[in-house]
Amino acid sequence: MEAVEMNSVSLKRPHSEDDVASADEIKRQKILEKSKAGSDSGQSIETVTEQLKDIKSEMIPNDESEEQEEEDLGDSDEDGDPESFADMMKHGLTESDVGITKFVSSHKGFSGILKERYSDFVVHEIGKDGRVSHLDDFSVPVDDEVNFEDPSEETFTVLSDEDKQRLEELQLFKNKEASVAIEVIEDTKEKRTIIHQAVKSLFPGLETKTEDRDGKKYIIAYHAAGKKALANPRKHSWPKSRGSYCHFVLYKENKDTMDAINVLSKFLRVKPNIFSYMGTKDKRAITVQEIAVLRITAQRLAHLNKCLMNFKLGNFSYKNHPLKLGELQGNHFTVVLRNITGTDDQIEQAMHSLREIGFINYYGMQRFGTTAVPTYQIGRAILQNNWTEVMDLILKPRPGAEKGYLVKCREEWAKTKDPAAALKKLPVKRCVEGQLLRGLLKYGMKNIISAFGIIPRNNRLMYIHSYQSYVWNNMVSKRIEEYGLRAVPGDLILKGATAVHIEEGDVDNYTIHDVVMPLPGFDVIYPKHKIGEAYKEMLVADNLDINNMRHKIRDYSLSGAYRKIIIRPQNVNWEVVAYDDPKIPLFTTDLDKLEGKPLPLLPVDGKFRALKMEFSLPPSTYATMAIREVLKMDTSIKNQTQLNTTWLR
């Protein structure tokens, strides 16, 4: 999981009944203002209902591109009811449920609102070369060679919507036509050339020719080489001097990475799997990251800026390689915590501690799901080879925040144990529940292993990784409770890719920032002190053998790894600002700078105060855990909704 996968939460700390009443009143006023205003002309402001929908989204992403696309269903009234959501989240997880119990700093916590606006949370990807990705250039690189992949601007408007529809159906073999004829109204060679270019550029796999019919000129579009041409369009048309991949910076607002790629693939009429990237980025945020796409020109991509909502493309270049997951060095965060209550001294202590000591490298709450059935429980059942329980945990009714159709599906399953009947209750078949039900229909109730295998591999592995994370969180809390913030004999450190124990005579050579702890698996060693025994005891209690983590199904053999106990963020900076209007932005984004939008003038003494902070984190660490350390607050949705029950209602 990426460091940026974060839920939308309000981190509020009630200090007294008066403070609670005051905070509640401020929040009620803000919600009323939002519901009346809708959105301003700058950054859009979601209503509280939309914020709650973001919170309730499934926390296990589907990394299989072909499986990502789902119908836009619209939520039922019950999904947007804040009161019912607050009630449902009473059944969710708190941090202590998943082992998150310790802090490393000594300062007193304070209140703040995280992601009151999605534009309060900005993420810039850091590449493996240490360069921070920024959108600061819309220009298109110029090639020495010109070809049909470089159409003129007129190319994109010369075809009517009806022409485009017919051509798309022809391209995708969706009709019985062998060709599509487009009449040339203004019969000039230039006009015909533009139509030829438009068809070949916008519809890979199609070729064109000119024909005379009854005294009129027509451009005839047809498949040159059947379905192979669609899969691998016109290799010969791409200049040899140009790299096969167009790299670009994707700037997106309030949309996750795969959603953005699916939108781009639809506009370009290509498959999503020709795009590659180094990491997925959060939805409820503004994020900037590098993307690579195979044999799509910068000009075609740049044209999309005129029709895309909520994201922009720029900084184009051609290279000979795609991008790979995990190649990034990390992410740089710019975060605004609004309506803070801390004194200047409290804030200084908190931020100095974050910079000098850091935070416990816990796996964040989004790793474990949002409902009363945590994902780690399913992972544990997989490792135990208890497939009936796996099926039951995924499909049984559960209290918690879920869409209405999932509730009905679970009720049907509990009543009938009929996969077909339960599946009929699901308008979205590509969710995990729908995939498992389809598997049960195909393979039968006696072959749950094969039925479960229909779920995309990344999703299945997420369950066992969740269990690993659950164990790690609990063990690191025990380690800090037992030995504090110092390296001790028997701890583990990494030397290259190998973990070794700290010996008695070497302990003074290391600090807590050097210490790692293992994720349980078949290829790791454990600390040589009480925590090593605690690992074994925890797995024994879960009917697992720590010395034999290999599964009879190879995919579920748990490979171990090592993870640092404490992360010290880099490039930590902060500033406290005053403001009156909760709707105004408090810093400029890359897009603001490109468009020349100045930052609004902020008052010296405003009604509210905000903490603006910046920091960089390595991959696989959670920004929520850094913010938790600053505020000293439980970041779970359950805790936040219970703190805010009054204003939600």
Q: Which residues are catalytic?
A: 282
Beta-carbon count within 10 A of 439 CB: 21
Q: Per DSSP, what are the bridge partners of residue 210?
A: 219
Angle at 642 between CA 122 and CA 118, to 5 degrees: 15
C-alpha–C-alpha distance, residues 196 and 609, integer Å:
59
- The total number of residues shown for the chain amounts to 649
Give the CA count within 13 Å in the CB-facing half-sphere of 163: 20
Listed in sequence order, the residues at least 6 apart from 288 whose beta carbon sits closer than 8 Å to its beta carbon are 122, 123, 124, 125, 133, 134, 135, 249, 250, 251, 590
**Apex CA 115: angle with CA 114 and CA 118, to 5°?**
165
Measured CA distances, 234 to 137, 166, 450 (Å): 29, 21, 39
Give the tokens for residue 169: 């159906």
Q: How many Cβ atoms sit within 10 Å of the Cβ of residue 511?
A: 11
Rounded alpha-carbon distances, angstroms, from residue 164 to 126, 158, 198, 201, 222: 39, 10, 10, 12, 14
| Cβ-Cβ contacts under 8 Å for 384 (sequence gap 6 or more) | 542, 543, 544
* 3-state DSSP helix/strand/coil % of the chain, to nearest 5: 40, 20, 40
- For residue 335 the two structure tokens come to 């975060």
CA distances from 103 to 14, 119, 362, 535, 565 (A): 19, 28, 11, 21, 12
Distances 351 to 11, 168, 302, 626 between C-alpha atoms, Å: 17, 55, 40, 10
Given a contact cutoff of 8 angstroms between Cβ atoms, the answer to whether 107 and 353 are in contact is yes
Phi and psi dihedrals of 576, rounded to 5? -100, 130
Distance from C-alpha of 402 to C-alpha of 425, rounded to nearest angstrom: 14
Residue corresponding to tokens 């451009």: 219
Give the chain's radius of gyration (CA, Å): 27
Angstrom distance (rounded) from CA 438 to CA 174:
26
- Helices of type H across 310-370: 344-356
Cβ atoms within 10 Å of 593's Cβ, excluding its own: 13
Whole-number Å distance between alpha carbons of 638 and 370: 9
